[in-house]
Amino acid sequence: MSTSPAFAPAAGGDPGMPRHVAIIMDGNGRWAKKRLLPRVAGHRAGVEAVRKVTREARALGIEALTLYAFSSENWRRPDTEVTDLMALLRTFIRSDLDELAAENVRLRVIGDYRRFGTDLTEMIDGAIARTAANSGATLVIALNYGAQAEIAAAARRLAIRTAAGDIGAEAIDEAAIEAELDTAGLPPLDLLIRTSGERRLSNFLLWQAAYAELLFVDTLWPDFDGARLREAIASFAQRERRFGGL
């Protein structure tokens, strides 16, 4: 039985240091509620947590950091909250893009972010283009992302290629599907963290998480910082990863 490149352990390097970490950033609303603040205050504090964690990830040498910023299900939230989230995304790009570029970080976005409208889409496209040639760490932001839709889209593309005669059905294996996913070209996902005490993946990186280590912490996202990221890495380093072997 062959092993898909997506699930194979990384060759070389420190086995205790994940190459690719993903985070479900949960708990902004509860953080604000505990402080009798509006939900947008929790989202603002969450943006500051993003800054702390991305800087620490770079300092640790993590190759790719994927952050679940806006799911395809988040459109169900009140219009005012969605508007606030989009405004914060604009602010983050304006205020942090220079730092990312200066630090040789490559920005990548997964999900159908074009639903956000022309103005924000152009801003995101510009940020991606500005950092495309960078060769350092990759910061991946999941926007209007849902893993089930991602997998279905990959299947459709492979079906179209099969119907056109470009590939045979026998060529559709794990590696072929992996190549069609939004995360193609990124290191395999090693560690997936969810904050706020919830114990579910919420339609995030379902394929990629097949052999990832999962860590659920009670810390609300605005309180998650560099020290807590290091604690998560220390927990990861203690785990034995066998990828189906002995």
**pLDDT of 124 strictly over 50:** yes
Beta-bridge mates of residue 82: none
Domains of the chain with CATH codes:
20-237 (3.40.1180.10)
- State mean pLDDT over 194-223: 97
Residue 27 annotated as part of some ligand binding site: yes
- To the nearest whole percent, how much of the chain has pLDDT over 90? 89
**pLDDT > 60? residue 135:** yes
Instruction: Give the active site residues.
Output: 26, 74
Q: Residue 30: how many CB atoms within 10 A of its CB?
A: 16
Q: Is residue 235 part of an annotated ligand binding site?
A: no
Residues 146-187 have pLDDT tens digits of: 999 999 999 999 999 999 999 999 999 999 999 999 999 999
Mean pLDDT of the chain: 92
- 65-106 tens-digit pLDDT: 999 999 999 999 999 999 999 999 999 999 999 999 999 999
Backbone dihedral region for residue 149 (phi beyond 0: left; psi -120 to 50: alpha; all else: beta):
alpha
pLDDT for residue 6: 46
- Helices (H) then strands (E): counts for the chain: 7, 6
User: Quick check: 236 pLDDT over 80?
Assistant: yes
Is pLDDT of 229 > 60? Answer: yes
| Annotated binding-site residue? 2 | no
Inform me whether the pLDDT recorded for 2 exceeds 60: no
In this predicted structure, the answer to whether residue 23 has a pLDDT above a threshold of 50 is yes
* DSSP 8-state assignment for residue 219: S
**Distance linking the first and last C-alpha atoms of the chain:** 15
**Known binder of ligand: residue 117?**
no
Q: Is residue 51 within 8 Å of 9, Cβ to Cβ?
A: no
CA distance 178 to 208: 8
Q: What is the pLDDT of residue 14?
A: 78
